Every structure is written in structure tokens, then in C-alpha cells.
């Protein structure tokens, strides 16, 4: 009997719809949650078979395959990846950047050069907004800390990087997707991940409420899953991903581009929601 496929996912709200019900299949998959950068590190070390990894990770692992059809993406404001500023953008000289995701750091470099017209110094820092703001003019924060913080109460401006990307390119942004070595997933595994995503799309409010312990934040979680995220890795999302890779290489934020290669899949009976 083959062992279950070992899955590693990001420890944020945004992945929960894509793993809905997977715990009911312990004979087929196991699942752990970690920071995005840890997912990438575990995949490199062979401690997981498939990781929901930051999209830039793929450029360091060009022999890998991508699970088709599903991703964590956005098409406009994403709400959970943002710059928080204590002075006008044009005056920003230093940015403390969340070390949790190289994808978001790469996007920040692209947007600073191509859209914002600034060239700040980047200061790597753990994702602690208050501490980051004591070190720099602004901070890049991702995930739940960016989604749930009350930036107005802190006197900060919030610049949504998903919105900035789509305004610049007219395309979605792909933040993360399942990927791994070519032998890591069969069509059966891909079908199970599609099934989980389809189930998650039909239980968004329940997922948001179960994840969010503070009832006052549950409406934010519901709006986020329903309105801010795009879970389909379709043709437009793939075009956005390829555009990001070209821009990241041009900005010196990534090595050479890699051809996108996908795991085989069986015919899907259910269409994954937008």
C-alpha cells in the first residue's frame, strides 16, 4: 500500500477553502500548515510531497509540476498583501519587508520600480507591524496580519498590492499554488484536490467563521473569502503568473523564467468556483 501524499499548506485563512474536507482522507493525504517560506523549505528538503508554495518558488525548482486548476489568487484588491506607510508613498526611503513570502517581496520590488516610482531600501523583518514601523518608513505585511489589522487606528496608509498589480497589468495575480516533483501526484491526487476546492467554494462562510475566533472579525473573513480571492488557475491567471515571472526576472527578484508544467488530471465533474 502506498503511503499518503504529504501536503504542506500556508497557515493563513486564504488556503482553507482549498483544503476543505481533506482530513477525511487520511489514507490518501496528510496535511500540515506553516508559513509560506517554511512550505517552500519543506518542499526543498523532501519533507512534503506537494506544497501550497509562494509562486516565485517555482522558478527555483523548474523541474517541478503544478496542480492544474487551483490557486490562491486575486483579481484586484486582495486585502491580505499590502504596504503600510507612515508617510506619503513618494517620501518612502525604507521598507521593512515580511520575510514570510519571497513572492510578495518580489512583487513589491516590481511595483516600486514600475508603478510607484520609488527605490527604497528593503529591510528584512519578521511580520510584526508595530516593530517594523519603528525600523522603516513603511512595511510589507502579508496574510492574516495584513487582513485583520486596523491600520487607520495606527495612523497608517494601506496600499493593496493586488490592486496595484491588476491596475498596472489588467491581469490577476497568483500568490500560491500546489506544486512538487513530477512523481509527487497522480491524477487521483489532483482529483482529490479539485474535490476539496469545489467543496470549499460551497462552504465559504462556514470556513471563515470556523477559522476566525473573534466574532467581530468574522464578517471580514467572510468578505475576504467571497470577494478578495480568486481560486481558479485558469487562462487569465496563468497569463498573470507568466507576466509576474517576466517582471520578477527583469527586476532581479528571481532567476530565469521556467516553462509551466502541470500534473496530469482526470476529467473534472465539478467546476471550481471563481
Cβ–Cβ < 8 Å for 78, 107: no
Is 153 domain-assigned? yes
186 in the same domain as 163: no
Residues 61 and 181 in one domain: yes
> Is the CA virtual torsion 265, 267, 273, 274 positive or negative?
positive
In angstroms, the CA 78 to CA 185 distance is 29
Is residue 261 in a domain?
A: no
Residue 214 domain-assigned?
yes
Q: Do residue 164 and residue 93 come from a single domain?
A: yes
* Helix H or strand E segment including 98: strand 94-98
φ/ψ (deg, to 5) at 82: -155, 155
Residue 211, domain CATH: 3.40.190.10
Measured between alpha carbons, how far is 220 from 64 in angstroms, rounded to an integer? 35
H or E element, residue 139: strand 138-142
* CA–CA distance, 77 with 79 (Å, rounded to integer): 6
The per-residue pLDDT string of the chain (274 residues; one tens digit each, 9 = 90 and over) reads 479 999 999 899 999 999 999 999 999 999 999 988 888 899 999 999 999 999 999 998 889 999 999 999 999 999 999 999 999 999 999 999 987 778 999 999 999 999 999 999 999 998 899 999 999 999 999 999 999 999 999 999 999 999 999 999 999 999 999 999 999 999 999 999 999 999 999 999 999 999 999 999 999 999 999 999 999 999 999 999 999 999 999 988 888 878 999 999 865 544 565 5
Residues 243-271 pLDDT 10s: 999 999 998 888 887 899 999 986 554 45
- Rg (C-alpha) for the chain, rounded Å, is 18
Pair 45, 57 in one domain: yes
Provide the number of structural domains found in the chain: 2
* Same domain flag for 53 and 85: no
- Claim to verify: residue 21 and residue 35 sit in the same structural domain: yes
- Structural domain containing residue 156: 81-169
Domain finish residue from 102, 136, 169: 169
- Residue 114 neighbours by CB under 8 Å, 6+ apart: 168, 247, 251
Question: Do 110 and 37 share a structural domain?
Answer: no
Q: Of the residues 149, 169, 189, which one is the last residue of a structural domain? A: 169
With H, G, I as helix, E, B as strand and everything else as coil, classify residue 207: helix
Q: Identify whether 161 is part of a domain.
A: yes
Do 65 and 180 share a domain, yes or no? Answer: yes
Under DSSP, is residue 255 helix (H, G, I), strand (E, B) or coil?
coil
- Name which of 242, 239, 236, 104 is nearest 175 in CA terms: 104
**Among candidates 97, 38, 43, 71, which has minimal Cα distance to 253?**
97
Quote the CA–CA distance of 227 and 55 in Å, as a whole number: 21
Mark which of 114, 135, 169 sits at the end of a domain.
Answer: 169
What is the spatial distance between Cα 96 and Cα 265, in angstroms, rounded to a whole number? 41
Q: Name the residue among 19, 46, 4 with its Cα closest to residue 176.
A: 19
Amino acid at each position: 500500500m502506498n503511503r499518503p501524499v504529504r501536503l504542506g499548506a500556508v497557515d493563513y485563512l486564504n488556503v482553507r477553502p482549498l483544503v476543505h474536507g481533506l482530513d477525511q482522507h487520511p489514507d490518501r493525504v496528510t496535511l500540515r500548515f506553516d508559513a509560506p517560506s517554511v512550505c517552500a523549505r519543506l518542499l526543498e528538503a523532501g519533507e512534503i510531497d506537494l506544497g501550497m508554495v509562494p509562486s516565485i518558488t517555482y522558478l527555483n525548482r523548474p523541474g517541478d509540476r503544478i496542480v492544474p486548476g487551483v490557486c490562491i489568487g486575486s483579481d484586484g484588491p486582495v486585502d491580505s498583501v499590502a504596504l503600510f506607510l507612515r508617510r506619503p508613498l513618494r517620501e518612502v526611503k525604507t521598507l521593512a519587508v515580511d520575510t514570510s513570502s519571497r513572492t510578495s517581496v518580489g512583487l513589491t520590488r516590481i511595483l516600486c520600480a514600475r508603478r510607484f516610482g520609488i527605490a527604497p531600501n528593503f529591510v528584512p523583518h519578521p511580520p510584526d507591524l508595530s516593530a517594523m514601523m519603528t525600523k522603516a518608513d513603511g512595511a510589507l505585511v502579508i496574510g492574516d496580519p495584513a487582513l485583520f489589522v486596523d491600520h487607520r487606528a495606527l495612523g497608517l496608509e494601506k496600499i493593496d498590492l493586488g490592486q496595484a498589480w491588476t491596475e498596472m497589468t489588467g491581469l490577476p495575480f497568483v500568490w500560491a499554488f500546489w506544486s512538487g516533483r513530477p512523481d509527487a501526484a497522480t491524477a487521483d491526487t489532483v482529483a482529490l484536490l479539485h474535490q476539496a476546492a469545489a467543496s470549499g467554494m460551497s462552504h465559504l462562510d462556514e470556513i471563515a467563521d470556523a477559522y476566525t475566533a473573534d466574532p467581530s472579525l468574522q464578517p471580514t473573513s467572510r468578505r475576504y473569502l467571497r470577494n478578495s480571492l480568486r481560486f481558479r488557475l485558469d487562462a487569465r491567471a496563468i497569463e498573470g503568473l507568466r507576466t509576474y515571472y517576466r517582471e520578477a526576472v527583469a527586476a532581479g527578484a528571481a532567476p530565469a523564467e521556467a516553462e509551466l508544467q502541470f500534473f496530469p488530471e482526470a476529467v473534472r465533474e465539478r467546476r471550481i468556483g471563481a
